[in-house]
Amino acid sequence: MIVGMRYFILKLLIVFLSGFFPESLTAQGLFDFGGEATTQFNRGKLEQDAGNFKEAVRWYKKAIETEPKFYESYNNIGYIYGSNGYHDKAVEWYKKSVLINPEFVQGLSNLGASYIELGKEKLAVEVLEKARKLAPESQLVGNNYATALRGVGRIEESLEVLKNLKNGEDSEEINHAIKAQQYRIEEKYELAEKEFRAAISKDPKEISLYTNLGSLLIEREKFDEAEVILEKAISIKDVGAVTHMNLGFLYLKKKKYDKAQAQSEIAVKLNPKSSTSWLNLGLSYVHQDKITEAREAWNRALDLDPDNEQLINNLKAIEE
């Protein structure tokens, strides 16, 4: 017997930052860079905003060549990798950023967010605690810190952080998202859904909002609505592996196995270290009688998660 499906739900919104940021976050550890490096950085930011990521990375690297301590360039390269689902690479660049400037709040927050995406919540908590000390009133940092705390099981502390976040320089969209998180933790799902939709209306291009709302709708077994939301996320721009993984899981639930296969294949391409994506991909193959492909997918998953009994049982089942 093949046992059930798995998927990853983003319980809380994770916020990444790139480029220029509020003055309150620049006050600590500010470096003064020369005109040439700044010009190259600005060109990189223009290319990044236009979605020309290869060109953006090229210009950011030029800025680094001109001024090796240009920590914002390292951060933005990390952001590009992270926003496209390559969080291992993102971590490498964020680490370089905060190594140069240990008081760079933006880099610390982004590093913590990528650790969360990689399932390394303990490391995320350590990094985000440093960011919180530097910027205790930042909603963006607090939001990521609350996410990390929840990931290590410190639920009450997570709730306390969210409740104590102050409305300040951050956008109204973030406030709606934080309210949605609080409601979700409190299991007030209808209110959480309402707040996520309000956040999306304020910023309809913020992919993480769709991902979180989609996962909430899946959790509530509102599969048709979840499909609309996740498909919308994918139509806006390139999204990370989690969105494709959740959509693949959703198609498994709806018995649309060819679509589940397509989304799961994208998910493992974006993040080949996700055992859950490989497991779901194997399930999509099994339901289409592609046993050889399923075996390969589950063996990949087992390499990543060798103690997973579900995978072991599934592999035994297809051999019987």
Task: Classify residue 273: in a domain, yes or no.
Answer: yes
Alpha helical stretches, state H, 118-222 = 121-134, 139-151, 155-164, 172-185, 189-202, 207-219
Q: Report the CATH number that the domain containing residue 273 is assigned in CATH.
A: 1.25.40.10
pLDDT (tens digit per residue) in 165-221? 654 444 444 578 777 877 877 788 899 999 999 989 988 887 778 888 998 899 899
Q: Is residue 284 part of a domain?
A: yes
Listed range (24-33, 114-123, 303-312) with the worst mean pLDDT: 24-33
Question: How many CB atoms neighbour CB 166 within 10 A?
Answer: 11
Domain ranges, residue 306? 255-320
Does some domain include residue 235? no
Percent of the chain whose pLDDT exceeds 70? 85
- What is the domain count for the chain? 1
What secondary structure, in 3-state letters, does 177-206 show? HHHHHHHHHCCCHHHHHHHHHHHHHHCCCC
Q: H or E element: which one contains 258?
A: helix 257-270
* 319: in domain: yes
Is 293 within the bounds of a domain?
yes
Dist CA 42 CA 35 (whole Å): 10
Closest CA to 3 of 286, 300, 307: 286
What is the predicted pLDDT for the residue at 102?
Answer: 93
For residues 216-233, give the mean pLDDT.
93
Give the pLDDT confidence score for residue 168 in this predicted structure.
Answer: 47
Q: Which of 198, 229, 228, 224 is CA-nearest to residue 212?
A: 229
Kindly state whether residue 40 falls inside one of the protein's structural domains: no
Residue 238 has a pLDDT of 66
Instruction: Express each pLDDT in 61-111 by its tens digit.
Output: 999 999 899 899 999 999 888 877 788 899 999 999 999 999 999 899 999
Identify whether 29 is part of a domain. Answer: no
pLDDT confidence of residue 174: 54
Instruction: Using the predicted structure, report yes or no on whether residue 25 has a pLDDT greater than 60.
Output: no
What are the tens digits of pLDDT across the range 271-311? 888 888 899 999 999 999 999 999 999 999 999 888 888 88
- Average pLDDT in the 11-37 region? 42
Report if residue 170 sits inside a domain: no
Q: What's the whole-number mean pLDDT along residues 117-122?
A: 84
